[in-house]
Amino acid sequence: MTPDFHELKKGGFIKQQGPGLFLMRLRTIGGHLTARDLENLAKVATEYGRGEVHLTTRQGVEIPGVRLEDYQALIEEIKALNLLPGACGPRVRSIVACPGKEVCPNGVLDTREMTREIDRAFFGREVPVKFKIAVAACFNACTKPRENDVGLQGIVYPELVAERCRLCGLCQSICPGGAIKIIDEKVTINRQKCYGDGACIASCPTSAWVEAARGFVVFVGGKMGRNPRLGYKMFDFVPEDEVIPLIDSILTVFEQKRKGQERLADTVKRLGPELFRQLVSFPGPGEALRKANMAR
């Protein structure tokens, strides 16, 4: 059977070393797989490959040792099992994410939901060159957002409900930026020093610190490889519901302004991060941030 070239072009099926052999690349949503997915992966790798897989740096799973003549059957089986084909070539690659709030004690945002939305909106989109997106749920930045074309890093700004405070002193002791100080038996915060890591909200024993605004710091123009560069911190605060339109706009500006085989990092460097930022449409941090008194 002739393979479906349209399917093949979307990527995920890659020529490997050795005659006649290919590898099938699958993606995950932010590295999340169910036990059932793992069973299905094992089954497919045994049936079509050589009973082994490789875990990629972008949280994908590669099955080596697949034959071209088996491609059609394999891709159909993958779809039937709800496994997700990966991408290669000039496309938006699989979105990498940390476990986020649901699991990690430091997480301030639900990365799984955000990643699913980003995947749905952009995965596989054809861009002139490869394009990588990573999401982290706090400023520890485990998924290295700055090494990606677009990197998101969760941030949450606190607000004090003063009458709940029992002056235990905990928030002052754990605030990483030294923003919180107890002065004259009152808890105070210096907004300029707040890192947005949410430690005060998570720890306050009386829940006096509550969440006022939640969103992402967005880094743009990072890349690794031969000439690595860290992304610019281009947007200090992007509310969750602005993330998709923002990435869409970044992709559009990149498509319009890039030259030759430039990665986004090169385009941003050539234009200057400030000009690039001005070209991107972003309505601003919004009401939430003003309410949280964080607007700068």
82: left (phi over 0), alpha (psi -120 to 50) or beta: left
C-beta neighbour count of 61 within 10 angstroms: 22
According to CB under 6 A, which one of 83, 127, 136, 152 is a site residue for ligand SF4? 136
Residue 174 interacts with, from other proteins, ligand SF4, none (CB under 5-8 Å by kind): other proteins
Instruction: Candidates 48-56, 132-140, 203-211, 283-291: pick the segment binding other proteins (CB under 8 A).
Output: 203-211
Q: Which is nearer to ligand SF4, 11 or 31 (CB)?
A: 31
The answer to the question of residue 107 lying near ligand SF4 (CB under 6 A) is yes
* Residue 136: contacted member of other proteins, ligand SF4, none (CB under 5 to 8 Å, by partner type): ligand SF4
The residue within the footprint of ligand SF4, chosen from 29, 53, 142, 238 (CB under 6 A), is 142
Residue 208 is a binding residue for ligand SF4 (CB under 6 A): yes
Question: β-pairing, 133-136 with 96-97?
Answer: parallel
User: Which CB atom, from 86 or from 198, has the smaller least distance to ligand SF4?
Assistant: 198
Question: What does the DSSP 8-state code read for residue 192?
Answer: G
In degrees to the nearest 10, what's the CA dihedral of 212, 241, 139, 220?
-140
The identity of residue 183, as a single letter, is I
- Residue 106 found at the interface with ligand SF4 (CB under 6 A): yes
What's the DSSP call for residue 25?
Answer: E
Can you list the positions of beta strands (E) in the chain? Answer: 13-15, 21-27, 54-55, 61-67, 84-85, 96-97, 133-136, 150-160, 180-183, 186-189, 209-220, 232-239
- Residues at the interface with ligand SF4 (CB under 6 A): 98-100, 104, 106-107, 136-138, 140-142, 165-171, 187, 204-206, 208-209
- Residues at the interface with other proteins (CB under 8 A): 105, 166-170, 173-174, 199, 202-205
